[in-house]
Amino acid sequence: MIPVQGVDAQTIAVLGLGRSGTATAAALAAGGAQVVAWDDGNDTRAAAETQGLRILDLTRDANWQGVSALIVSPGIPHLYPRAHPVIAKAYQLGIPVDNDIGLFFRSYATEDWDGFDRAPRVIAVTGSNGKSTTTALIHHVLEECGRPSQMGGNIGTGVLSLQPAIDGEVAVLELSSYQTDLARALTPDVAVFTNLSPDHLDRHGGLGGYFAAKRRLFAEGGPDRAVIGVDEPEGQYLAGQLAMGPADDRVIRISAGQKLDGAAWSVFARKGFLSEYRKGRQAASIDLREMRGLPGAHNHQNACAAYAACRAVGLAPREIEAAFHSFAGLPHRSQTVAEIGGVRYVNDSKATNVDAAAKALQAFPRIRWIAGGLGKEGGIAALAPHLGGVVKAYLIGHSARDFALELGQTPYEVAETMDQAVARAAAEAEPGDTVLLAPAAASFDQYPNFEKRGEDFVRLVEALPGS
């Protein structure tokens, strides 16, 4: 646990008592704060009370007496589509609102660091797609290269549940737009922006607000190095704002499809090869094509981002390349589950939006595509240019029939459930095919989250004959 600094003897309120909220309350208490807490759920409040938390109804004005700050869990809206009533009350009372990410950045560094040979560092990764894989890949490379490392944030461990840093350690954080939008302190040593595509628009008041939330990671604290994906206009804009000019190597531009050799420092992937350029000259090259944990152009972009971040903290190209080979990938993200009779089964349940599904569809040549669930605004019409490799689609869930209307000439059948979809795809698949779960939809019509959906796919695949 990382005790929160600067809160001794203060009364701090915590809103939201899930995993993040309870960890935050514990870290505040470890820092000497008097913690009061509230959650809208009766059962959640009762559970927190049994753990010794002091529950106060923060919807009542009288309970704000003496409160000096409100710490909010990331899932609770603080502005759009409307602020939660408790947060709105804090605004009215002039009480600062923060989250666990802000507390982490103001508390991670301690006096113990003065005795370290090498100061700990923080790499923070944000973006629309690929940030979990990029974060995990950076962490994997650091560990394989013998650098002490912890991973947390929006993946794995909550930031305040990480352990205090040791000499030379690197903390690798995945940060969502919900987390970067509200944090009052954002000071990573290396900040990574993977890409941008429309998502969470209601929460941020539109695409501009969504991008602004991501941009805060770079604008608030000014990282020593910024790794920026420049395959979208927003990334190009961000890189242009941060760099003082073409010779400024504090910005490392990355791309998953275009050659970048005009900037001081760039990393890009083309035709399966990663290249690093510095001052117009190639510094390194890595063949990504046989790395099974990193299939497809979207994972090659993740590899570029991770490579650049690891180079920024002093790792050598050949060290990074060796570590890439042993990366197995993350569950539910282009995860190869099995190969049965020459057919590959891939779980990309995390592909919950059109952009992520498009990247998955471009990663394999002959696809039997399992898609559907609770469709998002706009449906899947934007996937039309990426359906050339789809032999047949097997549609499940609430939006199955809506998706069918948008498939054009692509063969399909409405399978309704995952059981039927896997059974039908497996029965019809031929050697060389990939049975790909890339739903392009949320899971909430049939599953509590994308993880459970992916686990169901894995279970069904593992039960197939020959598995």
Got the DSSP string for 337-377?
EEEETTEEEEE-TT--SHHHHHHHHTS-SSEEEEEESBPPT
Provide the CB-side half-sphere exposure for 467 (13 A, CA): 14
Binding residue per annotation — 133? Answer: yes
Binding residue per annotation — 127? Answer: yes
How is residue 270 written in tokens?
């083309």
Residues forming CATH 3.40.1190.10 domain(s) in the chain: 103-325
For the chain, the helix, strand and coil percentages under 3-state DSSP, each to the nearest 5: 35, 25, 40
Cα–Cα distance for residue pair 365/389, rounded to 1 Å: 5
Binding residue per annotation — 129? Answer: yes
Show the low-confidence residues of the chain (pLDDT under 50): none
Instruction: End-to-end CA distance of the chain: give it in Å, rounded.
Output: 42
Cα–Cα distance for residue pair 28/365, rounded to 1 Å: 51
Fold of 335-462: Protein-Tyrosine Phosphatase; Chain A (3.90.190)
Q: How many helices (H) and strands (E) does the chain have?
A: 15, 20
The confidence score (pLDDT) of residue 467 equals 79
Residues 15 and 72: beta-carbon distance below 8 Å? yes
The confidence score (pLDDT) of residue 440 equals 97
Binding residue per annotation — 131? Answer: yes
The CATH code of the domain at 103-325 is: 3.40.1190.10
Residues forming CATH 3.40.50.720 domain(s) in the chain: 11-98
Cα–Cα distance for residue pair 90/98, rounded to 1 Å: 11
The confidence score (pLDDT) of residue 262 equals 85
Residues 368 and 457: beta-carbon distance below 8 Å? no
Enter the pTM of the model: 0.86
Residues forming CATH 3.90.190.20 domain(s) in the chain: 335-462
CATH class of 11-98: alpha beta
